[in-house]
Amino acid sequence: MIYITGDTHRDFSRLFKMDANTEDILIVLGDAGINYYLNNEDIMLKKYLKDFKLKLFCIRGNHEERPENIKSYKEKEMFGGKVFVEEEYPYLIFAKDGESYNIDGKSVLVIGGAYSIDKEYRLLYGYQWFKGEQLNQKEQEKILKKVKGKHFDVVLTHTCPLKYEPKEVFMQGLDQSKVDKSMEMFLDKVEENIDYDKWYCGHYHTEKKIDKLEFMFGRIKIFLKDEFVPKYDRNGYEIIRDFCSQETIHKNKVCCPKCKGRNIIIQKGDGENIYGLDEIAIICNDCKKVYGFSDIRYKPNCPKEL
C-alpha cells in the first residue's frame, strides 16, 4: 500500500496510527527533517524510523539539507528514476528534484524546495539554514524544458504554484513583499506547461483542496484516494473525518449527526494544540462510528488529530 502525508519536521508520531509492513511506502511532501542537524541526532532518528517497518519516499523541503550534498547518500535507480539513498538506511528514500517516477503504475513528477520565511531567525539564533533550499534559475530552466508538454498522473511538490497560495494561513505581521516567491512562480510555469491529473503539496501546514491540487499536513491518506488512515480506531469504530461542524452538533442538543441517537460520547482533543472548544469528534455507540468535526481551530504546526 502507498500512503501520503505532509510535513513531519522530525515528528513521526502519526506513524503509530498505521498498521504498516516493509512493502508499504509513505510519501512525505517535504520537511521530513531527517537531514536537518547533520550529526548524530539525525542518525538516531534514522535508526528509530526503522521500527515502523515501512519505506519513506521523501520530497525535499526547505528545513533539510539536499541529500546530494551529504556524502553518505548515493544516487540509485528506483521507481524508474534517480533517487538518493544511504546504504545503511535503505528504507529512507529521497526523490531527486525534477525527476519523474513510476509509482503504483502512475507517472509522478517530483519537485522539491521552497523559501524559508524563518531564514533570518534561524541564522540569528544559530539554527540550521540551507543555502540550496530553493532551485536556482539554471535548475528551474532545466526542469521546465524537460517536462514541458508532457502528461503526469501526479505531481508532488513541497510548495505550491503561486496561483494556489493559501493566503488565509499566512503568518500575521509578516511582510509578504519580502518573501522570495520565485519557487512558487516557477511552479506556476510548470503547472501551465504540463498536463496532470492530481497535484499534492505541503509546506503551508494546512489541509485543503483547490481544483486538482491538494495541500496536506498532519494526516495520512491512501495515495490517490480520498481516504484517511486509519479508517478504524482501536475499538473497531469507523472514523468518518470532517463529517459535521461543532456548531451543528450543539444546535441539535448533542446527538448523533447520523442516527440522531443519544448513545454518544464527545471526544476531546489535546487542549494544548486546539483553540477554543476542546472537542474534535462525536462517538456514536449505536452507529459504531466516530464522526469528526470539520471546524476545529488547530494551532499552527499542529497535525490534525482525526
pLDDT of residue 17: 84
CA dihedral angle for residue 191, residue 221, residue 107, residue 147, rounded to 10 degrees = 20
Q: What is the pLDDT along the chain (306 residues), one digit of tens a residue?
A: 999 999 999 999 999 888 899 999 999 999 999 999 999 999 999 999 999 999 999 999 999 999 999 999 999 999 999 999 999 999 999 999 999 999 999 999 999 999 999 999 999 999 999 999 999 999 999 999 999 999 999 999 999 999 999 999 898 888 888 899 999 999 999 999 999 999 999 999 999 999 999 999 999 999 999 999 999 987 899 999 999 998 888 887 889 999 999 999 999 987 788 888 889 999 999 999 999 999 888 887 777 888
Beta bridge mates, 220: 229
> Is domain 2-229 classified as CATH 1.10.246?
no
Nearest to 195 by CA among 145, 139, 148: 148
184-191, Cβ contacts within 8 angstroms, sequence gap of 24 or more: 184/159, 184/160, 186/135, 186/140, 186/144, 187/111, 187/157, 187/159, 187/160, 187/161, 187/162, 188/161, 188/162, 188/163, 189/144, 190/111, 190/143, 190/144, 190/147, 190/155, 190/161, 191/155, 191/161, 191/163
Q: Where are the domains of the chain?
A: 2-229, 238-293
pLDDT of residue 125: 95
Report d(CA 262, CA 271) in Å as an integer. Answer: 25
Q: Can you give the C-alpha Rg of the chain in angstroms?
A: 20
